[in-house]
Amino acid sequence: MPVVRSPEAVVHEIHGARFVSYATPRSGSKELCAWRGEIPAGLKAPEHTVSHEEIFHLLSGELLITLDGRTERVTAGDTVIINPGATLGVENPTRETAVSWVTTSVGLRAELADGSVLTPPWAN
């Protein structure tokens, strides 16, 4: 039975945010991956278009989430469903780090506005 203990989670830092990966193909997952995202105060992450559906659940804090040009304020306990092909922007306008839990399918890719493609190591 694959069990990923907290100290075994792999940490990645990209675009000023911290991604703590738990469920990945490297840790035993076959179809899904999941990670904790830590979005620091004041961070505005670059917009990106996702290749796979993501389920984004905010555990603590408050964020501005923009999906395809529409912005919503999301608070702790809210869940955002991000469909494949959607363009996502995340901004933390507060003075506290926001913490999320995100789940998606293995193979996620994110295309940034400049055309570059990010293949997140925590999702592959």
**Is residue 27, in this structure, part of any structural domain at all?**
yes
Please tell me the predicted confidence (pLDDT) of residue 69: 97
Q: pLDDT: is 121 or 62 the higher one?
A: 62
CATH code of 56's domain: 2.60.120.10
Domain of residue 86 covers 6-123
Please give the tally of structural domains in the chain.
1
**Is residue 1, in this structure, part of any structural domain at all?**
no
Residue 21 Cα distances to 36, 56, 67, 116, 124, angstroms: 6, 14, 23, 22, 11
Please tell me the predicted confidence (pLDDT) of residue 14: 94
- Mean pLDDT score of the chain: 96
